[in-house]
Amino acid sequence: MEKYFESTGRRKRSTARVRIFEGSKASTVNGKALVDFVKDSNKTALYIERPLIVTGLEKRYYFSAHVNGGGITGQADAIRLGLARAIYDMNPELKTILRKEELVTRDRREVERKKYSQLKARKKPQFSKR
- The residue extents of the domains of the chain are 4-100
pLDDT one-digit tens code per residue, 32-56: 898 888 887 678 888 999 999 999 8
Residues 38 and 110: their CA atoms lie apart, in Å, by: 22
Q: What is the pLDDT of residue 44?
A: 87
**Would you identify the CATH topology of the domain 4-100?**
Ribosomal Protein S5; domain 2 (3.30.230)
CA dist., res. 115 & res. 62, Å (int) = 44
The predicted-structure confidence for 63-108, as pLDDT tens digits, reads as follows: 999 999 999 889 999 999 999 999 989 989 988 999 998 899 998 9
Alpha carbon 61 to its chain centroid, in Å, reads: 17
Where would I find the H helices in the chain?
34-38, 42-48, 50-55, 72-90, 95-100
Residues 83, 58, 13, CA angle at the centre, nearest 5°?
25
At residue 37, the pLDDT reads 86
* 125: helix, strand or coil: coil
Average pLDDT over residues 17-36: 91
